[in-house]
Structure 1
Amino acid sequence: MTRSEPRFVDAILDWPGTWFLARLALVGAYLLGGIVKLTDWPAAVAEQAHFGMNPPYFWAALTIGIEIVGPLLILTGRLVWLGAGMLGVFTLFAAFTANAFWTMSAGQERFMATNAFFEHVGLIGGFVLVALVAERARRRA
């Protein structure tokens, strides 16, 4: 069977580091966010209060846990389905909480919230894909 992609694309896709770097690109913002929140607890609590989450201390702690544990599961290749599920549900919840564009009147704020909402949906698709790829690789091993 002949391949249709150029050789350099084939080489990139076959390189073992590509799988790790792709996962890091997907989860890096979450991991960094969790670390930043962990090192600035008052700001993490204030962020939750800003979005109306009560009690904000509980939601800040839960957010930090998800944003650190989920990426680590995906990056280490252990229980990838769980890490992807954690981050997918978290991202869906965040999209509805922080980007409720349907409640806004037309204008720049609604435009930006709409874009952010659907970017979150795209991330959720990425989490489903990383779980699928990891599961197929596990079954082949």
Structure 2
Amino acid sequence: MRGSANPPFVEVIVQSRAAWFAARLALCGAYMLGGVIKLTDWPGAVAEQTHFGMTPPALWAAITIAVELVGPLLILTGRFVWLGAGMLGVFTALAALTANAFWTMPPGPERFAATNGFFEHIGLVGGFVLVAMLAGRDRA
């Protein structure tokens, strides 16, 4: 096995438990915030699901809240990280397909924004795959 190709100061950062936690918090923060906001504004959460055509909207709002709160909790506590990352990864992929279906839109600013949103979501899915991969390396 070869040594790290990282400069020593970078290696200190990437091996740090604090940096590992901060990275997971940054990845999960928007989901936690979204879950709390939806939980405190149930009518808004149901309206959001109605907007995206999810039926029954109350059931999907409850599922969304559960995923947005439980997934980050698992990732941040280091318990069943693979499950939390899987929950959020699948949720994010489905959200990308539902909320950012750019391929169904005519050219223009809305399609441009949806295309960017879709690929940003795919990047987050990749981040959750990496978290699940790295979690087994005694970092949590």
Q: Would you say same fold, with TM above 0.5?
A: yes
TM-score in terms of structure 1 length = 0.92
Which residue matches 1:96? Answer: 97
Q: Tell me, in whole angstroms, the C-alpha distance in 1 between the residues paired with 2:52 and 2:94.
A: 12
Q: TM-score, normalised by structure 2?
A: 0.93
Report what 2:76 is aligned to.
75
Instruction: Give how far 1:3 is off.
Output: 4.9
Amino acid at match of 2:46: V
Q: Distance in 2 between matches of 1:111 and 1:90?
A: 22
Where does 1:1-141 land on structure 2 (aligned, <5 Å)? 3-137=4-138
The CA distance in 2 between the partners of 1:137 and 1:4, in whole Å, is 21
Higher relative contact order (CA 8 A, sep 6+): 2
Letter in 1 for 2:112: F
Q: How many residues were matched structurally?
A: 138
Give SS of 1:136's match.
coil
Cα shift readout 1:50-101 (whole Å, capped 9, x = no counterpart):
1111111000000000000000000000000100010011001100000000
Q: Once the 2 structures are TM-superposed, how far is the Cα of residue 16 of structure 1 from its aligned partner? A: 1.6
Q: What CA deviation, in whole Å up to 9, does each residue of 1:91-123 have, x standing for no partner? A: 011000000000001111111100100110000
- CA-based RMSD of the aligned residues comes to 1.4
The ranges of structure 1 where at least 4 consecutive aligned residues each deviate by more than 4 angstroms after the TM superposition are 1-4
Q: Comparing both structures, which one devotes a greater share of its residues to helix?
A: 1
Q: Which amino acid aligns with 2:96?
A: A
